[in-house]
C-alpha cells in the first residue's frame, strides 16, 4: 500500500468518511482522501453523470474560478472539453508569488471610470501586473511546448491564448470589466494548473529546457500549494486515474462508496475499511515497519488488495500461474509480467493477456528474462524521447508497426518490480524489493551503499569541488549494442563498461551475462524513483567517448575547465584520473563548495585544446566570463561548506519575511551577495538569511512599532512563564558576572548556570543573529531551540514591553526596533571575569573583537578554523583542563596559529573586501540592502547586470 496518503513525517493520513444521506443510516458514504467530506457540494450526486460542460460559465463561481470539485472523466489528461481541474493552485497566506491575484478571491482589482464618454477600464497598475503575469505564464507554456517531450504523437492540449487587448479596452459598464477580469483569472489559473499538472506528472519534465526556464517554473513553487480536487465514480474512471500520483502531490479526491464498489475486488485498495485498519495498525506499531501479519486476518479487503497494484490492475505473482502463459525464448519456465502506463503517464487498459504477442516481443527485447528464475515485472512507460536507433537495434526482430505511436522520438521504458506480498513479507514495499528466493537478483535496499561503493571504484573519477563526478559511457557509442542503455536517462546510474584499471568487479561478475546491466547495478530500483534532478545537468564528452555528468544542483566547487585539467589520457588510451596534489584549490579548506551556473540559454560551446589534449569550455559571453572570474576570486576568501544547518523542521514565520527590515553592515552584505552569485540554489530572501545564520554573518531584523502587535505572544506563551517580565520592563537584565576562583571547574559550572539564566530570557534569541562567537556559544550550550525561536520573530521584550534597541539615533532612521541583550549579558556570554584592572579581566571564551584582531584566520565569517578551535576549547573546559585568559593571553594563543605551517594561505584585509565590492559594483546593479524590507531584496536574486556591461 505504498500509495496510501501520508503526512510528511511518514505517518498514514487518516481518511474522512461521511454518509451521503445523513438521514439514512444505511446509505452510501463519501470517502475523502487528502481532503474533507464537508467540501463536497450537497447536491453532488444529482450531477454525477454530467462531466462535459457546454456552457463555459456553468462550472465557474462569481470570481471566475473553477469550482473546488466537480465530477471528473479523464483526470490524468488535460482536456479542454472537461472542466474538471484537479491541479488548480489555491490561495495561501502571505502569497507573494506570481499569480497571487488570480488564486485569491479576496484580491480586488481596481476599475477606473467613468471617463468623459462613460466608459470603464481596468486600473493601469493592475492591468500591467495582470498582463505581465499572463505573458509570463504563456512564455513558460511556449518554452515547454518546444521541449522534445511535446513532439510525441500524443493528445496533449494546452490552455487557449488570452487576448491581452481586452485588458486595456474600454467597456460600457463595470460589470463588463469584471467579466474580463474573470476571464483573465481563469486563463491564469488554467496556465498555472497546467504547469502544476505537467511538472508533477512527467518525470524529467525539464528535458530540453534551459536553466532559466526551469528555474522560472520552480520559483512558482506550484508544488507547495493546495490544489482543487476531483469527484470520481470509481467504476467509470479508475482505468485513467493514477491514484498514487494524486496522493503523492496531495491532490484531494472524493468518491462515493457503496455495496457495488465493495463487491468489486479491483477497488479493494480504496476500501475505507482497509485504509482505516491500516491507519490503526500503523498507529499501534509506533511507526515501525508494518508487516502482513500485523493486519488482523482474515480480512477480505486486505486479501483482495494484495492482488492489485496502485493502478488497480491485477498483479501476476510468481506463485500463481498466469491465465495465458507466455513461454520464454528458450522454452524454459514461464513468463509472468504486466504492462501498465502504456502512453505517457495515463495508464492504458492493456492487460497482460489482451495482446500476448506484442507484449512478449516488447518484454523479450527490452528485459532479458533470467533463465533460472521467474519474476513479476511491471513495465512502466513515461515520456522520455530517445532516438529510435538507440532502442530498436539492428539485431531486434521487432517491426515498427508492433509499437503503436512510435515515431522518430520513441517512449523510453522504465522498470519496477512488483510482487504481491506473501506471509512474512512487508506489505508496504515502496522502498525496494525484499530479497527472496524469487527476487534475489534484485538488489535490496540494504546493499545500495555497497553497490554505490563498487560502482565508484570501477569508474574513473574526477575531483570536482567537494564531490566526485564519475565518467559514464556516452549513449551514442552503444547505439548498436543489444544491452539496454541505462546511462541515456541523463543520470549516472552505473558504468556500462568497467575501467580497465579496476579490480573490484567481482560482485557483478556473479550475475548471468544475459541479464541487462540495469539489474546488475540496482537500476531497476533507482528507476522506480521520481527524483530526476532539476534539469541543470551539463555533459562534457572527451574524445574517447566518456561522458562527464556535472550537476549544478550539487554545488560543484571548481570551474569545468579546472576539473578537466586534472583529467588526462593514459598511455594505454584509456581515460584515467590524474593524481591530485595538495596544491591550492584542491584541499578542502581552500576549495569552494558552491558553483556558478552557466547562465545561458544553451550550454557554452566546447573546443579541444590541442596542446593539452582535453576538451575545454569556451566562454564566449562577457558576463559569463566575469561570473567565472568573480567566483574564482572569492573562493580564496571563503570556505567549503556550511558547518551547521538551520533546522529544516522549523521554517521562518512568514510575517518575519514580510514585515521585517534587514539591518546589515556593508561587509556582511557583500559576503551574502557573493554567495548569491556563486550559488544558484539561493533563490529567495529566506535563503539569504539562512546563509547568514549558518556562516555566522551578523545582521539584525527590525520591525515597525505598528507591526509588533502581530507577533505579540498569547498569555500562555513561554515568554510569560519564564519569570522575566519585570526584568524586561526595566529595560535591562543585569549580566551575571562570574566570580574569580582558582578552580576552573567551579568557574565553568557558574558560567553554565549563567548561560542557562540568559537562555530563559526571551530576548536571548537576538544572539543567534549576531553571528561570530556569541552565535556559536548559544547554539553549543542552549541548543537549536533558541534558533527556532529566532525564526519566529521578536520576543515579548519588543512586542509587549516595547523595549530592546532602535535606530532613532541614526542619521538614516526608519523607526524600527529589535530585540537586544544588555552589555552585561553580552559579556557574560563570553564568560567575563572582572579583575583588578581592565588588562587583568579574563574571559572563558574570546570575543569577536579579540578573534578578529589576533587571528589571521578569522575575517568576520565563521569558518572551519573557528569551529575546530572553539570545539577544542569547549572540550578542554568540560574535562577541567581549560582556563580563563586575559586579553594578552588570548593574543598569544591565536598568534601561535598565524605562523609557519598553521598560517592561513590568504590574509583577508579591508583592501581585499574593497576590491571585491568594486568588482561587484562595476558589473552588477547594487542597491544597498541595509534598512530595506526583507521581501524587497528578492529582486536582487539573482543579480542583474548593468545594461552596458
pLDDT band, residue 283 (cuts 50/70/90): low
pLDDT band, residue 714 (cuts 50/70/90): low
pLDDT digits (tens, 9 = 90+) for 512-560: 322 222 222 222 222 222 332 333 333 333 333 333 333 333 323 333 3
Alpha helices in 285-393, H assignment, sequence order:
300-305, 356-366, 388-391
In this predicted structure, the answer to whether residue 354 has a pLDDT above a threshold of 70 is no
Give pLDDT, residue 943: 82
Supply the mean pLDDT for the chain: 64
Residue 785 and residue 882 in contact, taking contact as beta carbons nearer than 8 Å: no
pLDDT band, residue 816 (cuts 50/70/90): very high
Q: Which of 112-116, 494-498, 598-602 has the highest mean pLDDT?
A: 112-116
CA–CA separation, 303 and 269 (whole Å): 10
Q: What is the mean pLDDT of residues 451-466?
A: 32
Q: What is the mean pLDDT of residues 175-180?
A: 86
Residue 416 and residue 524 in contact, taking contact as beta carbons nearer than 8 Å: yes
pLDDT band, residue 508 (cuts 50/70/90): very low
Name the residue ranges covered by the structural domains of the chain.
1-86+228-307, 90-226, 313-442, 446-511+534-635, 654-902
CA–CA separation, 639 and 634 (whole Å): 10
Give pLDDT, residue 156: 58
Residue 538 and residue 552 in contact, taking contact as beta carbons nearer than 8 Å: yes
Give pLDDT, residue 845: 94
Give pLDDT, residue 885: 93
CA–CA separation, 664 and 659 (whole Å): 16
pLDDT digits (tens, 9 = 90+) for 857-868: 888 889 888 988
Residue 361 and residue 402 in contact, taking contact as beta carbons nearer than 8 Å: yes
Give pLDDT, residue 57: 36
Query: Which class for 809: exposed (0-12), middle (13-18), buried (19 or more C-beta within 10 A)?
Result: exposed
Candidates 938, 945, 832, 809; CA nearest to 890 is 832
Candidates 696, 701, 843, 850; CA nearest to 780 is 696
More confident position, 264 or 491: 264
CA dihedral angle for residue 157, residue 163, residue 164, residue 167, rounded to 10 degrees: -130
Instruction: Flag the least confident range among 38-47, 153-162, 837-846.
Output: 153-162
pLDDT digits (tens, 9 = 90+) for 123-138: 888 889 999 999 999 8
* 178 alpha carbon, distance to own chain's centre: 38
Instruction: Flag the least confident range among 27-36, 289-298, 545-554, 762-771.
Output: 545-554
Q: What is the mean pLDDT of residues 419-424?
A: 32
Q: Which of 352-356, 576-580, 874-878 has the highest mean pLDDT?
A: 874-878
pLDDT digits (tens, 9 = 90+) for 798-811: 888 888 888 887 77
- Helix 772-782 × helix 744-759 angle, to 10°: 90
In this predicted structure, the answer to whether residue 274 has a pLDDT above a threshold of 70 is yes
Give pLDDT, residue 329: 33
Q: What is the mean pLDDT of residues 449-463?
A: 34
pLDDT band, residue 152 (cuts 50/70/90): very low
Q: What is the mean pLDDT of residues 173-190?
A: 86
Give pLDDT, residue 933: 92
More confident position, 686 or 469: 686
Give pLDDT, residue 289: 53
Amino acid at each position: 500500500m505504498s500509495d496510501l496518503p501520508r503526512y510528511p513525517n511518514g505517518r498514514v493520513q487518516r481518511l474522512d468518511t461521511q454518509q451521503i444521506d445523513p438521514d439514512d443510516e444505511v446509505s452510501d458514504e463519501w470517502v475523502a482522501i487528502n481532503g474533507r467530506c464537508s467540501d463536497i457540494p450537497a447536491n453532488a450526486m444529482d450531477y454525477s453523470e454530467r462531466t462535459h460542460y457546454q456552457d463555459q460559465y456553468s462550472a465557474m463561481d462569481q470570481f471566475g474560478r473553477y469550482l473546488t470539485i466537480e465530477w471528473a472523466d479523464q483526470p490524468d489528461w488535460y482536456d479542454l472539453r472537461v472542466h474538471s481541474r484537479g491541479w488548480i493552485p489555491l490561495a495561501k497566506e502571505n502569497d507573494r508569488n506570481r499569480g497571487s491575484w488570480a488564486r485569491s478571491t479576496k484580491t480586488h482589482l481596481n476599475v477606473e471610470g467613468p471617463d468623459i464618454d462613460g466608459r470603464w477600464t481596468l486600473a493601469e497598475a493592475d492591468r500591467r501586473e495582470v498582463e505581465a503575469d499572463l505573458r509570463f505564464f504563456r512564455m513558460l507554456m511556449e518554452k515547454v511546448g518546444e521541449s522534445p517531450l511535446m513532439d510525441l504523437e500524443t493528445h496533449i492540449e494546452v490552455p487557449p491564448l488570452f487576448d491581452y487587448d481586452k485588458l486595456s479596452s474600454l467597456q460600457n459598464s463595470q460589470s463588463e470589466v469584471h467579466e474580463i477580469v474573470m476571464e483573465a483569472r481563469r486563463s491564469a489559473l488554467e496556465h498555472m494548473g497546467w504547469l502544476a499538472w505537467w511538472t508533477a506528472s512527467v518525470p524529467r519534465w525539464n528535458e530540453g529546457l534551459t536553466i532559466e526556464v526551469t528555474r522560472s517554473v520552480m520559483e512558482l513553487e506550484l508544488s507547495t500549494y493546495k490544489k482543487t480536487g476531483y469527484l470520481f465514480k470509481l467504476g467509470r474512471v479508475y482505468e485513467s486515474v493514477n491514484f498514487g500520483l494524486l496522493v503523492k502531490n496531495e491532490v484531494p479526491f472524493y468518491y462515493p462508496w457503496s455495496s457495488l464498489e465493495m463487491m468489486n475486488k479491483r477497488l479493494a485498495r480504496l476500501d475505507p475499511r482497509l485504509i482505516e485498519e491500516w491507519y490503526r495498525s500503523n498507529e499501534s506499531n509506533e511507526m515501525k515497519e508494518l508487516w502482513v501479519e500485523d493486519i488482523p486476518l482474515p480480512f477480505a479487503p486486505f486479501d483482495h488488495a494484495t492482488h492489485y497494484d496502485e493502478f488497480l490492475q491485477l498483479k501476476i505473482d510468481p506463485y500463481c500461474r498466469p491465465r495465458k502463459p507466455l513461454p520464454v525464448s528458450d522454452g524454459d519456465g514461464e513468463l509472468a509480467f504486466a504492462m501498465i502506463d502504456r502512453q505517457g503517464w495515463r495508464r492504458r487498459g492493456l492487460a497482460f493477456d489482451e495482446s500476448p504477442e506484442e507484449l512478449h516481443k516488447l518484454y523479450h527485447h527490452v528485459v532479458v528474462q533470467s533463465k533460472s528464475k521467474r519474476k513479476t515485472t511491471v513495465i512502466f512507460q513515461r515520456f522520455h524521447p530517445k532516438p529510435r536507433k538507440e532502442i530498436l537495434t539492428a539485431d531486434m526482430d521487432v517491426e515498427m508497426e508492433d509499437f503503436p505511436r512510435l515515431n522518430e522520438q520513441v517512449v523510453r521504458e522504465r522498470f519496477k518490480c512488483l510482487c504481491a506480498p506473501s506471509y512474512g513479507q512487508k506489505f508496504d514495499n515502496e522502498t525496494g524489493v525484499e530479497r527472496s528466493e524469487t527476487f534475489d537478483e534484485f538488489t535490496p535496499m540494504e546493499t545500495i551503499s555497497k553497490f554505490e561503493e563498487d560502482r565508484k571504484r570501477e569508474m574513473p573519477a574526477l575531483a570536482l569541488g567537494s564531490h566526485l563526478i564519475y565518467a559514464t559511457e556516452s549513449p551514442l557509442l552503444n547505439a548498436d549494442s543489444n544491452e539496454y542503455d541505462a546511462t541515456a536517462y541523463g543520470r549516472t546510474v552505473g558504468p556500462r563498461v568497467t575501467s580497465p584499471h579496476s579490480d573490484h568487479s567481482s560482485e557483478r561478475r556473479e550475475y548471468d551475462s544475459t541479464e541487462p546491466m540495469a539489474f546488475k547495478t540496482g537500476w531497476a530500483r533507482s528507476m522506480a524513483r521520481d527524483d530526476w534532478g532539476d534539469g541543470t545537468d551539463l555533459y562534457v564528452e572527451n574524445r574517447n567517448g566518456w561522458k562527464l555528468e556535472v550537476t549544478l544542483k550539487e554545488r560543484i566547487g571548481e570551474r569545468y575547465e579546472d576539473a578537466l585539467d586534472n583529467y588526462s589520457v593514459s598511455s594505454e588510451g584509456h581515460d584515467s584520473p590524474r593524481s591530485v596534489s595538495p596544491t591550492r584549490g584542491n584541499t578542502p579548506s581552500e576549495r569552494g563548495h558552491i558553483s556558478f551556473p552557466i547562465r545561458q540559454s544553451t550550454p557554452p560551446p566546447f573546443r579541444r585544446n590541442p596542446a593539452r589534449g582535453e576538451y575545454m569550455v569556451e566562454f564566449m559571453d562577457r558576463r559569463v566570463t566575469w561570473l567565472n572570474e568573480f567566483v574564482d576570486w572569492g573562493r580564496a576568501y571563503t570556505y567549503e561548506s556550511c558547518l551547521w544547518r538551520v533546522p529544516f523542521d522549523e521554517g521562518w514565520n512568514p510575517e518575519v519575511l514580510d514585515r521585517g527590515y534587514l539591518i546589515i553592515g556593508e561587509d556582511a552584505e557583500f559576503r551574502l551577495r557573493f554567495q548569491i552569485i556563486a550559488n544558484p540554489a539561493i533563490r529567495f530572501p529566506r535563503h539569504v538569511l539562512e546563509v547568514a545564520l549558518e556562516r555566522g554573518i551578523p545582521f539584525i531584523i527590525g520591525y515597525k512599532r505598528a507591526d509588533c502587535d502581530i507577533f505579540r505572544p498569547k498569555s500562555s506563551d513561554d515568554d510569560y512563564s519564564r519569570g522575566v517580565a519585570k526584568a524586561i520592563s526595566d529595560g535591562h537584565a543585569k549580566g551575571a558576572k562570574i566570580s574569580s576562583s582558582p578552580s576552573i571547574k567551579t568557574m565553568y559550572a557558574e558560567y553554565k548556570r549563567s548561560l542557562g539564566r540568559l537562555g530563559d530570557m526571551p530576548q536571548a534569541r537576538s544572539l543567534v543573529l549576531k553571528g561570530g562567537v556569541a552565535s556559536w556559544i548559544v547554539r553549543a550550550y542552549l541548543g537549536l531551540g533558541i534558533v527556532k525561536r529566532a525564526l519566529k520573530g521578536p520576543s515579548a521584550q519588543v512586542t509587549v514591553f516595547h523595549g530592546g534597541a532602535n535606530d532613532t539615533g541614526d542619521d538614516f532612521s526608519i523607526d524600527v526596533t529589535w530585540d537586544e541583550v544588555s552589555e552585561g549579558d553580552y559579556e557574560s556570554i563570553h564568560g567575563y571575569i572582572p579583575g583588578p584592572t581592565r588588562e587583568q579581566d579574563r574571559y572563558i571564551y574570546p570575543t569577536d573583537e579579540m578573534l578578529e584582531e589576533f587571528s589571521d584566520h578569522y575575517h568576520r565569517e565563521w569558518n572551519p578554523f573557528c569551529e575546530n578551535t572553539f570545539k577544542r576549547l569547549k572540550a578542554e573546559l568540560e574535562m577541567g583542563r581549560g582556563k580563563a585568559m586575559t586579553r594578552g593571553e588570548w593574543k598569544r594563543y591565536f598568534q601561535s596559529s598565524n605562523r609557519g605551517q598553521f598560517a592561513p594561505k590568504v590574509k583577508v584585509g579591508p583592501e581585499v573586501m574593497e576590491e571585491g565590492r568594486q568588482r561587484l559594483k562595476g558589473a552588477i546593479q547594487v542597491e544597498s540592502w541595509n534598512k530595506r524590507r526583507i521581501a524587497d531584496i528578492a529582486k536582487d536574486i539573482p543579480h542583474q547586470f548593468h545594461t552596458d556591461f
